[in-house]
Amino acid sequence: MKKVFALCALCFGLSALGACSMQTIDRGYVFPKDLDAEIAGIKTTAQLEDKLGSPQAKTMYGAPVWVYYSAEENYHGPFPLTWDDRAVVLAWVNGSQVTKTKVLRGGELPDVSVDGDETPIPAAIELNALEELFNNVGRFSPTGLGQ
């Protein structure tokens, strides 16, 4: 009985140690260590796509900019999530030419907060829950009638 109890205690102790281990997950692109040197000579979008692949985002307004993002997400058991080696590559594009590139790392990245307000939709109809419920009465046909 003592051997079974000791084995259970050992297994519990090992599982508790496993919960406190560190796990790192790459998010976004995994940039090479010499990122600045890699993108320094890039002049065309074909070269940029060859080195880094397709961009994660392209700007919709203003100058066309391609955005590449990378971060390491670290889990330390029950402790809060941390981020390491965050980097963003911005490439200003004019047609098929890359006019400028910039690499932002960790502290250079701006803090972005999400606004809690809602954007009003022009000419939107605001209905409460009961109005929504009664508004849908008769809209749906029973299953199997083929309508």
- For 74, the 3-state DSSP assignment is strand
Tell me: the pLDDT tens digits for 77-123?
777 777 676 788 888 888 888 888 888 887 777 777 777 787 777 88
**In the chain, where are the structural domains located?**
22-109
Tell me: the pLDDT tens digits for 27-41?
788 888 888 888 888
Question: ∠ at Cα 60 (67, 57), nearest 5°?
Answer: 25
Residues in the chain: 147
Q: Say how far apart CA 97 and CA 91 lie, in whole Å.
A: 10
At which residue do the structure tokens 């419920």 appear? 133
Rounded alpha-carbon distances, angstroms, from residue 132 to 54, 119, 139, 142, 143: 43, 21, 12, 19, 22
